[in-house]
Amino acid sequence: MADKQKNVPYRRFKEFENADAWEQRKFDECFNFPVSTNSLSRALLNYDEGDIKSVHYGDILIKYPAILNIKNDKIPYITGGKLEKYKSSLLENGDLIFADAAEDETVGKAVEVNGLTEKNLVAGLHTIVARSKDKKAEFFLGYYINSNTYHRQLLRLIQGSKVSSISKGNLQKTLVSFPKDFEEQQKIGSFFKKIDETIALHQRKYDKLKKLKSAYLTEMFPAEGERKPKRRFSGFTDDWEERKLGEVGKAKSGIGFPDAQQGGKQGTPFYKVSDMNNPGNEVVMMNANNYASDSQLKENKWNPINPQNSGVVFAKVGAAIFLDRKRIVDTSFLIDNNMMSYLFDSSWNRYFGKTLFEKLRLSRFAQVGALPSFNGSDVEDIKVMIPEESEQKVIGDMFEKLDDTIALHQQQLEKLQNLKQAYLNEMFV
């Protein structure tokens, strides 16, 4: 492994392990600002037709990856834009487009223009275009400029409080590093491009599965006012029965969880809303960040919730309500007072119940106020349609398999994204 203090990356391709250190130079020695940008708002752009495409800073921050592929990425046209007006502002392959404003530390995120052939492209509102004075390998700059190694320099130079910004002058103050060997630049750029292509492939599969699940949720549960779903497994024809949730289960709210009591590693899991984000908790709550010992239970007179036939947990206070996340709970647990649980009685199939709750938009039943919330009676008063238990089981089994597949793709995505981030940290200086 190499020493970054000597301007050598921590991780390097084998054939370059003994190559020269990377060259470090001031930004303004390597780049110029060749074109002006426009200040067109979203209202002056469209996705249907036009002669000139315009890159909006908001899309750089949120939508586009490090490499902006003109053929594949969705870029809006300037409505009524004429080539004569924008001819001096046209971009070239390899140009970097920086987003010079953001509400957080993403300010300075950039894209490298790639795939330009016949299309005309310009940079729009709140952007800065930089062009390398000498040839750099395709894709190298896009990944380097977005690496933490480089971006940390920008964070020291941003201006503003509510909205952060970066100027051309401050960009010029940064240092850039790159391999002297063009082939090493090529290898690094191609390496990260392949990782991004793999991530994009898994993302498409994940998105497709999510859409499939959404379609099934619509078709396999009765529409409002109906007693039968549009799509059913063969052999089932009976009407579903309308019941209040309070008739077939019980809602339970959480309890206060003082900071001084938190941090336990063994005992009864004490779930918070944030625990739903833990790896492994995508479907069933399997782990917690805090546990309550037997002595804590006795001292505080905490009574764990013990589901006889499983149940679900979800947020009951604040903005987290609108995420509409639900998780299955199978074992004894505690929840803090920002959460609620609903425990199924013996008439429920466990996974059908979880799926029905996913379809329920509980945020619709929240009490409006400074902090939206609902209580147990709000949940227990909700009317739902429920089939007999054998139909519940086949529906539940199908959604369980689908959720397992979705969770697997989500885990693969996260692993790839973490791997990419690790390589970005180690392969640039």
Dump pLDDT digits (tens) for 121-165.
Answer: 999 999 999 999 999 999 999 999 999 999 999 988 988 777 889
Residue 332 lies in a domain: yes
Say if residue 2's pLDDT is above 80. no
Residues of the domain holding 210: 181-231+389-429
CA distances (Å), 196 to each of 260, 377, 408, in order? Answer: 43, 48, 19
CA 185/CA 355 separation, integer angstroms: 49
Dump pLDDT digits (tens) for 215-255.
Answer: 999 999 999 899 999 999 999 999 999 999 999 999 999 99
Q: What is the CATH number of the domain that holds 308?
A: 3.90.220.20
50 and 154 belong to one structural domain = yes
Which of 79 and 322 is assigned the larger pLDDT?
Answer: 79
Residue 248: what residue type? V
pLDDT score for 159: 84
Residue 7 lies in a domain: no
166 and 201 belong to one structural domain = no
CA 388/CA 233 separation, integer angstroms: 13
Query: Where do we find the tokens 């782990």?
Result: 287
pLDDT score for 1: 45
Contact 146, 59 (CB under 8 A): no
296 and 333 belong to one structural domain = yes
Global pTM value: 0.80
Express as a percent the part of the chain with pLDDT over 70: 99
Which residues is 343 bridged to in the sheet?
250, 311
35 and 149 belong to one structural domain = yes
277 and 371 belong to one structural domain = yes
Domains in the chain: how many in total?
3
